[in-house]
Amino acid sequence: MTIAPGGRLPAHSHPGALVIFVEAGTWGYTALGGTAELTRAAVGGTPTPAEALPMGTEVILNPGDWLFVEDPQDDIRNAGEDEVVLWSAGLTRVGEPFTAFMEGMDMEATPAS
Q: Is the pLDDT of residue 51 over 60?
A: yes
pLDDT, position 104:
56
Q: Is the pLDDT of residue 109 over 50?
A: no
Distance (Å, rounded) from C-alpha 4 to C-alpha 113? Answer: 9
When pLDDT is cut at 50, 70 and 90, the band that residue 22 belongs to is: very high
Amino acid of residue 57: T
Is the residue at 42 inside a domain?
Answer: yes
- Show the domain range for 72: 2-93
Distance (Å, rounded) from C-alpha 92 to C-alpha 96? Answer: 7
When pLDDT is cut at 50, 70 and 90, the band that residue 105 belongs to is: very low
User: What's the mean pLDDT when you consider all of the chain?
Assistant: 87
Q: Which pTM value belongs to this model?
A: 0.82
Amino acid of residue 67: L
Is the residue at 64 inside a domain?
Answer: yes
Q: How many domains does the chain have?
A: 1
CATH of the domain at 23: 2.60.120.10
Is the residue at 78 inside a domain?
Answer: yes
Is the residue at 109 inside a domain?
Answer: no
Are residues 33 and 55 in contact, defined by beta-carbon separation less than 8 angstroms? Answer: yes
Distance (Å, rounded) from C-alpha 25 to C-alpha 16? Answer: 26
Would you tell me how many other CB atoms lie within 10 Å of the CB of residue 104? Answer: 7
